[in-house]
Structure 1
Amino acid sequence: MICLVAAAGLTWGIVALVRRQQYIKSLRERGWTFVNSPQLDAVARLTNPPFGIGFRRDPDDQITGHTTSGRPFQVIEYSSGHWKGWVGMVTLSRRLPELWVMGGDTRPRYGVEAAAMPSPAALGPGWQIGALDPAYAAEVLTPQVCNQLNGLAGGMPGLNLSIDSDQLTVLDPPRKDVEQLGPWLDQLAAVADAIDATPLDHWIQPELPPRFSFYHHPDWYWIGVDDSLLEVTPTSRSGHSHRTEDVIRGRDGDGPPFVAFTHHWQTTRTESYTDSEGRTQTRTVTENHSEAILGFQLPVPMPELTVAGRSFGRGISFESERFNDQFKVTSPSTKFAYDVIHPRQMEFLMASSPAPFRIVEDWVWFSPGDHSQHSIAHSSRFLREFLAGIPRFVWRDLGLSDAPYPRLDPVSPGS
């Protein structure tokens, strides 16, 4: 029986291999290129989901070429921590802001932060539109573009399309049937033709550096590994085999620059045990450990200050008992703590529930619990507002001429 199962598995494997070779041959006969293991560069500059999300990004089989009209295209298999599938795309003549067009009951892509917009009459009922600016969406979706979108959707229920800089991308293209894929790409190119014919030059976006990109974080960049950080960051010093993984640097707008990564290390211990014959033996046990490191660099050193959730013991006492019940603040300078954690700052902290953080000289170190795009972005937004809430006189006492982070919202003259 086992032999029969093994033989059947071998036969199926041979059949699958032959079919794959025939499929690749049919692609090349069209003048297209097939790459079995493309580099990350193939999708690194794409930022709209499913691209631009998370640290795990794996392109696989890739088909490239030109449509009948000569427009470059790419059809690629892609997987991340949140999605796996195929994406088809053609190149636009301009780099444009993000736009989402979804037909039927299509679910929005994971991580999309665009706002829902009214669907134009020319597109008809049953569509979902998303963009950051309603005026932009209205200018793109001309009757000519809508007509081409309806034509593309006619052969593809549940169309999920996006403008991603100079790429017009669609999830789940009909890539299995080469005879169907060619006409479908031509129809997608027709949508691109209609968008290119629309006067949108005033929406052209700046070209981003050719690097591992992040959705809505243009100034973040991927490094990967930088073990020199282990010497200058507050990582655990115990154990051995220390290494960094998924190192990210960047900043958000005018906020402070950050470094974030996962620190891995091992500890080894010897333990005794009793074997099956009752004899005492020893063995070496190696355990793996990891921690998330996230730090933001300040423009000037500050007195040490720690803000964390309530734990055993009490920190500095503030006038708000509700705040004292929620947070433990410690600092060798009580005056500095009172100057920074004023009543408005307390309200902000209680509303924000940040990860524990500690100011050490010119760095703010967070304990985010996990190393993720979301945790970095959350702490980045929080810290920018927290720093903006520090009074001007504190910054001046530290040697700056003025507050380096202006408030993000209007305040009364006396605040």
Structure 2
Amino acid sequence: MILLLVSGTAVGVVLFVRRQRYVKSLRDRGWTFVGSPAFESVARLSNPPFGMGFTRDPDDQIVGLTSSGRPFQVIEYGSEYWKGWVGMVTLSRRLPELWITGGQTQPRAGVAATMVPVPPQLGAGWTVGVQDPAFATEVLSGQLCTALLTLASGQPGVNLSIDGDQLVIQDPPRKDPELLAPWLDQVAMIATAIDALPLDRWIQPPREPRLTFYQHPDWWWIGQDDSLLHSTPTTRSGHDHSTSDVIRGRDGDGPPFVAFTHHWKTTRTESSTDSEGRTTTRTVTENHSEPILGFELPVGMPWIQVSRRGFGAGISFESEAFNEQFAIHARDHKFAYDVIHPRQMEFLMAVRPVSFQVVGNWAWFEPGRHDHQTIAHSSVFLRDFLARIPRFVWKNLGLHDSPYPQA
């Protein structure tokens, strides 16, 4: 035991001294080392590995200027989907997302992009992804390709992206400042090549410095907001109610939403009697949670519930195929028939959404889990569902027209 304790202490001292020397070597270069950076360090970033999941964990951070005076950041970052180091330098403009991968590197998980042809200058082994192929055509100049090849010559692979006004590259050589400095200068050369291009027509609007989600610029992470417990259909029994991972937002002109996990506890007393007739009592506390997802509608509607067929057939519609798959319950049957018309039935059978119900001016879903993929799917579905409600129904509810015109 003593030998283990002494050995562990010695290892701890060695690691501490090594870390202090490393931090000093960074500061000797005029760089700043931050052991516990705030969320603001990654708040403006929303493309993978950022912008994914609810756990956003920035750790050790190095900030400073490259030899050409361009601001940079190297940071350790973790989430449910990825953990590692990223380096980035600042661009002069906020630009659309762009993905360039080369060498022995896999494309980043979670990226949704269109693959486009690679310039001949880069050669084989490279992939390029964008949202708009025209942007890639304008960015992939000869000077940029030369800078990319220079960076790739000193490492096994390149995994680069544009995230707003940041040029982000995974796996920087952060352990050795003697290697990190020239690596950052090479990344700065890529940024200089991009800045030199006539890309002003692609400038993106600035974003608020808050934690957002990939390809959902109008979502933002709040964290905890227990006031929602009084205005949402959460379970009321039990005690110690709380919320976590609260998200608010909307997609385009779709209805705004709130989503979170509701936590609570229940306590019960259990009694048992042993073979000698002695009775003992103990208190058992259990933890519970449920996902909550609701969308605010522009006007109050009669109550209606759309769910998969289970116990209870619900209202009968003219389509037997629909009746076999879905159960529709409503207090106003005429309203239900107006909303669930033949085209709406075809849409529901094709999409097969999770159960939801409209209560006043809210649509509450039963998502089964709390994650951004489920929120995104439900958001798109509900927007399309509402767009299929006839105009006369919206007018009967007091609106002059449908607030969700079909594309």
Same fold by TM (over 0.5)? yes
Contact 1:123 1:143 in 2 (8 A): no
1:212 counterpart residue number: 211
User: How do residues 36-185 of structure 1 correspond to structure 2 at under 5 angstroms?
Assistant: 36-185=35-184
Which whole-Å deviations, capped at 9, do the CAs of 1:239-270 have from their partners, x for residues lacking one?
Answer: 01111111111110000111111111111100
Change (3 A) 1:277 1:40: farther
- Change over 3 Å in CA distance of 1:150–1:276 after alignment to 2: farther
Report if the CA contact (8 A) 1:46-1:165 is conserved.
yes
- Aligned residue pairs total 407
SS at match of 2:157: coil
- TM-score of the aligned structures, taking structure 1 as reference length: 0.96
Structure-1 residue corresponding to 2:238: 239
Hey, what does 1:412 align to over in structure 2?
Answer: none
Partner residue in 1 for 2:14: 15
Inter-partner Cα distance in structure 1 for 2:141 and 2:158: 18
CA distance in 2: counterparts of 1:10 and 1:331, whole angstroms: 69
Task: Write the distance in 1 (CA, Å) between the matches of 2:60 and 2:300.
Answer: 50
Which whole-Å deviations, capped at 9, do the CAs of 1:340-378 have from their partners, x for residues lacking one?
111111111111111110000111000101111111111
Residues 53-103 of structure 1, C-alpha deviations (whole Å, 9 max, x = no match): 111000000000000000000000000000000000000000000000001
The letter of the residue matching 1:161 is L
Distance, in Å, in 2 between the alignment partners of 1:276 and 1:208 is 69
User: Within 1, Cα distance between the matches of 2:114 and 2:276?
Assistant: 69
Deviations 1:205-254 (A, max 9, x none): 00011111111111112221111111111111000111111111111000
The more displaced of 312-321 and 30-39 is: 312-321
Following the alignment from structure 1 to structure 2, what is the Cα–Cα distance between the partners of residues 274 and 374? Answer: 49
Query: Partners in 2 of 1:27 and 1:59 — Cα distance?
Result: 19
CA displacement 1:18-63 (0-9 Å, x = unmatched): 1111101100010100000000100011011000111100000000
Secondary structure in 1 matching 2:244: strand
Q: CA deviation at 1:108?
A: 1.7
Structure 1 counterpart of 2:23, which letter? I
Give the drift of 1:106. Answer: 2.1
Q: Distance in 2 between matches of 1:108 and 1:390?
A: 41
CA distance in 2, matches of 1:99, 1:276: 72
Q: Distance in 2 between matches of 1:287 and 1:44?
A: 36
Could you say if the C-alpha distance between residues 103 and 277 of structure 1 is closer, same or farther in structure 2, counting changes exceeding 3 Å? farther
Q: Is the 8 A contact 2:95 2:203 kept in 1?
A: yes
Take 2:387 and 2:56, find their aligned partners in 1: how far apart are those partners?
35
CA distance in 1, matches of 2:389, 2:218: 25
Larger displacement relative to structure 2 (30-39 or 98-107): 98-107
Query: What CA RMSD, in Å, does the superposition of the two structures yield over aligned residues?
Result: 1.2
1:397 deviation in Å? 1.0
1:299 aligns with 2:298: yes
- Opposite residue 254 of structure 2, the aligned amino acid is G
Q: Residues 275-286 of structure 1 correspond to what in structure 2 (within 5 A)?
A: 279-286=278-285
- Matched to 2:7, the amino acid is A
SS of the equivalent of 2:178 reads: helix
Alignment of 1:320-399 (within 5 A): 320-399=319-398
Cα distance in 2 for partners of 1:136, 1:17 equals 47
Q: Secondary structure at the match of 1:130?
A: strand
The letter for the 2-side match of 1:318 is: F
Whether the 8 Å contact between 2:101 and 2:158 is mirrored in structure 1 is yes
Distance 2:44 2:270 in 1: 50
CA distance in 1: counterparts of 2:213 and 2:351, whole angstroms: 24
SS at the partner of 1:123? coil
Matches within 5 A, 1:249-328: 249-274=248-273, 279-328=278-327
Larger CA deviation: 311-320 vs 137-146? 311-320
Specify the SS of the correspondent of 1:78: strand
Percent sequence identity is: 68
Partners of 1:354 and 1:33 in 2: how far apart?
A: 50
User: Which amino acid counterpart does residue 398 of structure 1 have in structure 2?
Assistant: L
Amino acid at match of 2:62: I
In the aligned structure 2, how far is the partner of 1:49 from the partner of 1:305?
38
Contact 1:120 1:138 in 2 (8 A): no
Structure 1 stretches (4+) deviating beyond 4 angstroms?
A: 274-278
How far is the alpha carbon of 1:141 from its aligned partner?
Answer: 0.9
Structure 1: segments with no counterpart, 5+ residues? 409-415
The farther-off stretch of 196-205 and 319-328 is 319-328
Equivalent pair of 2:103/2:152 in contact (CA under 8 Å): no
User: Which secondary structure does the structure 2 equivalent of 1:159 belong to?
Assistant: strand
1:189 equivalent in alignment to 2:188: yes
